[in-house]
Amino acid sequence: MANEAEFLSPLGENALLFRRMHAREELGRLPEYSIELLRLSKSPAIFAADLLGKSINVKLLVSEGKYRYFNGVVTRFEQGGSTGRFDIYRVEMRPWLWHLTLGADSRIFQDKTAVEILDFVFNEYGSSSKIEKKLTGAFRKRNHTVQYRESDFNFVSRLMEEEGIYYYFKHEKDKHTLVLCNSASGHAPIEGGDLTWGLKQKEQQTREDIVTAWSRTHALRSLKYTHTDFSPEAPTADIKGDAVRDPGYPKPNDLEVFDYPGGYDDLTMTAGKTSANVEEAKRLAKLRVEAFESGHVIASGLTPWRHMSTGYTFNLLDHPNKGGYLVTRSDYELEFAGYEANADDTSQGFSCRFDAVPKATAFQPQPSATRPRVHGPQTATVVGPKGDEIHTDKFGRVKVQFRWDRIGKKDEKASCWIRVSHPWASKQFGMIALPRIGDEVVVEFLEGDPDRPLITGRVYNGDNMPPYELPTQATVSGIKSQSSKGGALTNANELRFDDKKDSEYIWFQAEKDYHQLVKNDAFATVKNDLWVDVVKNVAHKIGENFTMDIGKVTTIAVKEDTHVKLGADLNMEVTGALNLKVTDAVAFKGAAAMAITAGQGLDISAGQALNMAATSTLHIKGMGIVIDGGTQLCIKAGGAFITLGPEGVTIQGTMTKINSGGGAGSANSAAQASPAAPKEPAAPKENKDPLAK
């Protein structure tokens, strides 16, 4: 009997003869094909380099003039053993997608759908022409998707599992195609389409479109899937999503699976759009329930039908479980080894043991890809647009360049916006200090998930040294900023503490303005000197009283004018002398009476004339009055006058009376000045530590 299976390779026709193949195909899993080959022992040996990485085919006769091909790449080569005239070779064949298991990377994808990310990764392997997409529906833009220290295959696998995408392969001669699908529309009927159950033994020997063994298993599975997540832009929002399936039989309870985090908040923090998160939560929950459902009813069968293939549908006839089924798994056994004269026909044949689910089932494979975890914190560098020093958004988030990211350009596109931890973060109050471009920050990941970074700290390094020289200034601590943009190291606001024993101090610097607001009392106690140096102006506005108590001397030097305006009285009491020296004129004006009282003598001296005038009577009174005119003394009243001079005394008047009676008026005594005593300054309140006991 001629062989019905052939091995085709770059080595040429019949260089290796097909003996047997065991193959396993499964929806959403990498297929594997183990092939055993023969070569005449007298022929030159074949080496691994002749086949490894090369495209090969297994050609299987399915009917008169029609062939089925299994195509792939040699991933393993083994030479060893012999049988009769032949040496035995074994090869492992895998699809091109298997190459992704050999590549691993760490990188960030931003603002791309899962399908766009898949295309990017597949194109790196030159496989864009080897993909067929049978996908329905739209896929969300993923704000931030990280591949972290994982193989390219694991990355694309978990991405597909998250989005409800699975795959199988379609084989042709010298070619195989990856078929991506997410619904029943992605599956076509097997050629022939129908398989019959229950044929008699005689008919089974002449027909292959039959099922020779069949079982159908029902298994208890979870009925409900619920998950939730946290949305930073709406922290009180309920973004829970769930889905439930009807098992069609009495259920013991809800059999619910609850999980957190759901992984559907991309941390976009687009306020007011949590409804999109809820819809995504429901969509993902539905996928998880479909995976439960896919394991609820599983049929298993055995057939010699050579068209049987994973990812295709068939109809089962003449059986109580008749109906449409989707093949989810196939295990093939091919053996065609009639190369020896005594070969037995029983060694010739094809059989397929398969699993299938009812065609009406919304199939989803059980997730198998592992999600990478970041164990412990990492450090990264804050980045932003060229020329900027601070790059942030309204939430105070920043962007970073991770050490493991080879694609990032150290700019504002290097990562998603990442939230920053602060010592105190409350509702529009707390503490804030944004990391600046070039700073090294400590990044941790919520649940260890590389898709959910959070900045939890900052560290100095060789480029960004501490603001104070260490270890010589180890006792110094504080806060020092830098003016932006373009500020030098000396352009800073600073609050510094030095705890060096016996040299302790606090230093405060405002690079420009200093604003202080005290909504009630303010206290300051200085146990020694207070020095204030103001280069320009000082202005004080006091709504009520001002009190100053000086224990000793007050010295004030004013180099130009001094202006004082009082709304009421000015009271001054000088215990000692009052000395007033004026190099120019002195003017006193009182709207009412003015009194000057001296406890002893009062001297008034003028360098030139001394003028005294009163709009009414001028009184001068003393125990004795001495008027010394020097050269002349003149007393004048009306038209009369008396003049005393060296020549004598002249009395002139209309009528001059001497000893003629009458009486002299009495001069008023000088009024006694009684200035009001100034008030004693009130004692200042005690500056008491509120925490002191």
- What 3-state class would DSSP assign to 278? helix
* pLDDT, position 379: 98
Contact between 391 and 437 (Cβ < 8 Å) = yes
Give the pLDDT band of residue 271 (cuts 50, 70, 90).
low
Query: To which residue do tokens 């008169």 refer?
Result: 64
Pairing type for strands 131-134 and 175-181 reads parallel
583 DSSP assignment? S
* pLDDT, position 1: 47
Query: To which residue do tokens 């049987």 refer?
Result: 308
Give the pLDDT band of residue 689 (cuts 50, 70, 90).
low
Query: Across residues 195-218, what is the average pLDDT?
Result: 79
- One-letter amino acid at 63 equals S
Q: What is the 3-state secondary structure (H, E, C) of 539-598?
A: CCCCCCCCCCCCCCCCCCCCCCCCCCCCCCCCCCCCCCCCCCCCCCCCCCCCCCCCCCCC
- Using a 10 angstrom Cβ sphere, with 0-12 exposed, 13-18 middle and 19 or more buried, the burial of residue 534 is exposed
* pLDDT, position 330: 98
Contact between 126 and 171 (Cβ < 8 Å) = no
Q: Is the pLDDT of residue 342 over 60?
A: no
Q: Is the pLDDT of residue 347 over 60?
A: no
Nearest partner of 158 among 78, 75, 224, 100, judged by Cα: 100
Give the HSE-up count for residue 397: Cα atoms under 13 Å, Cβ half-sphere: 17
Rounded Cα distance, 652 and 640, in Å: 5
Give the pLDDT band of residue 204 (cuts 50, 70, 90).
low
Contact between 34 and 70 (Cβ < 8 Å) = no
Tens of pLDDT along 119-177?
A: 999 999 987 679 999 999 999 899 899 999 999 999 999 999 999 999 999 999 999 99
What are the angstrom distances between the C-alpha of 17 and each of 58, 351, 547? Answer: 10, 20, 113
* pLDDT, position 369: 95
What's the pTM value of the predicted model, to 2 decimals?
0.83
**CA 660 to chain CA mean position, Å:** 115
Tens of pLDDT along 499-549?
A: 999 999 999 999 999 999 999 999 999 999 898 888 899 999 999 999 988
Query: Across residues 360-382, what is the average pLDDT?
Result: 95
* pLDDT, position 399: 97
* pLDDT, position 346: 52
What are the angstrom distances between the C-alpha of 194 and each of 18, 26, 624? Answer: 29, 21, 153
* pLDDT, position 64: 84
Query: Across residues 378-396, what is the average pLDDT?
Result: 95
Query: Across residues 390-401, what is the average pLDDT?
Result: 95
Query: Across residues 72-83, what is the average pLDDT?
Result: 93
Contact between 88 and 106 (Cβ < 8 Å) = no
Q: Which residues contact 238 (CB under 8 A, 6 or more apart)?
A: 228
What percent of the chain shows pLDDT beyond 90? 59
Query: Across residues 564-579, what is the average pLDDT?
Result: 85
Which long-range contacts does 525-534 make (Cβ < 8 Å, 24+ apart)? 525/687
Q: Which residue has the higher pLDDT, 245 or 186?
A: 186
Contact between 329 and 131 (Cβ < 8 Å) = no
- What 3-state class would DSSP assign to 347? helix
Q: Is the pLDDT of residue 105 over 70?
A: yes
What percent of the chain shows pLDDT beyond 70? 91
Range with lowest mean pLDDT among 21-35, 206-220, 292-306: 206-220
Query: Across residues 304-325, what is the average pLDDT?
Result: 94
Query: To which residue do tokens 């991506």 refer?
Result: 180
Q: Which two tokens stand for residue 77?
A: 């080569």
* pLDDT, position 653: 80
Q: Is the pLDDT of residue 344 over 60?
A: no
**Cis upstream peptide for 304 (omega within 30°):** no
Q: Which residue has the higher pLDDT, 198 or 449?
A: 449
Rounded Cα distance, 229 and 446, in Å: 12
Tens of pLDDT along 9-61?
A: 999 988 999 999 999 999 999 999 999 999 999 999 899 999 999 999 999 99
Tens of pLDDT along 431-443?
A: 999 999 999 999 9
Q: Is the pLDDT of residue 398 over 70?
A: yes
Q: Is the pLDDT of residue 200 over 60?
A: no
Rounded Cα distance, 543 and 523, in Å: 17
Rounded Cα distance, 480 and 498, in Å: 14
Mean of pLDDT over the chain:
88
Q: Is the pLDDT of residue 669 over 70?
A: no
Pairing type for strands 476-480 and 297-303 reads unpaired
Rounded Cα distance, 431 and 259, in Å: 33
Q: Is the pLDDT of residue 629 over 60?
A: yes
